[in-house]
Structure 1
């Protein structure tokens, strides 16, 4: 999309002050702890880019509030490298840098905002290499501390703490299928056929680079086979979110040119667990 088209879609430049007005109208408020997902192209031309968006979010939640994003690790070794020729594996094991919360880039597929936020002065990032989260604000340290090595989307994770601390989730122009908090619902749900992945990645322990084995739900391909309950190739998280909205959970509004959503984290997880267990509990 060219700049002129973007400007027309958004009815002019989307400035920091306009973002503050739109976010406030959507329901975000002072003191909020909010995990956010952003698709900048949907918002329109944002004057100042990611820094303007982070600045506006910070203006709204204030000094008592906290911003949180999912980061991952852009340069993590692929899960399947253990199937490569032995010489290739040996080279990776010998020289692949360890995950570093301060230096390792956020996954580029998550957009520009996670990397921009984790670089902000005062931001804190969790220790898990594959499922890291970053936060900025009053509750940042509490959210990211002691991220479990295994089951990193489950109990004790930053997602679990987001729920426990009364957090919210903002989809700022991002589609419903980006509702990462539903991975926490998957981790908690009791239903047949839950899928897991085991993988190895290098981390630093007591100052030494070591290869560690991790276990998690399969967040890449889906913790469950939803094909029996979701039709037409629809993403299961989109289906769950649409049913949530239809049930009156969450609110919808416009920020810039973007359709945006604001959810209460505890309601997302409660609904998500119930949806998965109801839909898949009797699945063959």
Structure 2
């Protein structure tokens, strides 16, 4: 059977930039982007064109931020997609390369964040599991500081289950602490205690957030787009989560 032609729509650097401007993305702002390249349609230039389009809209005074998570640097005993044999666990722990912001690839967040991570001038934060990469004047600002600086979040074909602003709220409410294993910076294996985070029920949280707070909604290519202040999402989630997803410490 012949390969069917792409269904489109055809998305280009310029068409994406134009649609984002129409939605209200502004030059000079700080934009935290969660994205799905596939959701956009047929993008001429792929992830590179998407990043170029975002940077075109933001301009030299704007800052583009993306999640560059690397949750695979974790205890193999917890892996499920796919699992590995138990007899491998000790050897994996002993030989897993430690996190290096320059070379550790992102995982599970799509090709657009990985493109930003490797972009000339990008800087990446130091957390071995939940790092961010950024381009622009505020590249050194952590997520909480971006909230105070008036950053906005853009869901570009991604759902609320990917919304890291909701995760920031989890750190501010009572939540269980869990041991987390990962390769130590100097070699070997370390176990640390961190807040347990989960995207469970984030779709419901996002639905209620849109109902109660002003969220810009629209399209870019074939993708559904949501645009909203990070601070609004964090504050709403801080109230919503204890009521709808209570968790014992």
Q: Calculate the TM-score normalised by the size of structure 1.
A: 0.77
Q: 1:19 Cα shift?
A: 0.5
Tell me which of 184, 196, 209 is aligned to 1:218. Answer: 196
Q: 1:135 Cα shift?
A: 1.1
Task: Tell me the alpha carbon deviations over residues 16-49 of structure 1, each in whole angstroms, 9 at most, x when there is no partner.
Answer: 1101110011111111111111111221101100
Q: What is the alpha-carbon distance in structure 1 between the residues aligned to residue 86 and residue 40 of structure 2?
A: 47
Q: What is the alpha-carbon distance in structure 1 between the residues aligned to residue 69 and residue 39 of structure 2?
A: 23
Distance 1:282 1:187, change over 3 A: closer
Q: What is the alpha-carbon distance in structure 1 between the residues aligned to residue 55 and residue 153 of structure 2?
A: 15
Q: What is the alpha-carbon distance in structure 2 between the residues aligned to residue 15 and residue 48 of structure 1?
A: 7
The answer as to 2:182 corresponding to 1:201 is yes
- The farther-off stretch of 208-217 and 132-141 is 208-217
Q: 1:110 Cα shift?
A: 1.2
Matched residue, 1:152: none
Conserved? CA contact 2:76–2:93, under 8 Å: no
The answer as to 2:164 corresponding to 1:180 is yes
Q: 1:5 Cα shift?
A: 4.3
The answer as to 2:73 corresponding to 1:92 is no
Distance 1:91 1:262, change over 3 A: same
Q: 1:124 Cα shift?
A: 0.8
Q: 1:122 Cα shift?
A: 0.8
Distance 1:42 1:280, change over 3 A: closer
Q: Please, which runs of 5 or more residues in structure 1 have no aligned partner? A: 144-157, 223-234
Q: What is the alpha-carbon distance in structure 2 between the residues aligned to residue 85 and residue 174 of structure 1?
A: 33
Conserved? CA contact 2:68–2:133, under 8 Å: yes
The answer as to 2:54 corresponding to 1:61 is no
Matched residue, 2:226: 261
Q: What is the alpha-carbon distance in structure 1 between the residues aligned to residue 100 and residue 247 of structure 2?
A: 43
The answer as to 2:113 corresponding to 1:114 is yes
Matched residue, 1:131: 130
Distance 1:29 1:78, change over 3 A: same
SS in 1 for 2:235: helix
Matched residue, 1:6: 7
Conserved? CA contact 1:26–1:253, under 8 Å: yes
Matched residue, 1:238: 203
Q: What is the alpha-carbon distance in structure 2 between the residues aligned to residue 180 and residue 135 of structure 1?
A: 15
Matched residue, 1:232: none
SS in 2 for 1:104: coil
Q: What is the alpha-carbon distance in structure 2 between the residues aligned to residue 105 and residue 165 of structure 1?
A: 28
Q: 1:176 Cα shift?
A: 2.3
Conserved? CA contact 1:75–1:105, under 8 Å: no
Matched residue, 1:250: 215
Q: What is the alpha-carbon distance in structure 2 between the residues aligned to residue 215 and residue 74 of structure 1?
A: 15
Q: Calculate the TM-score normalised by the size of structure 2.
A: 0.87
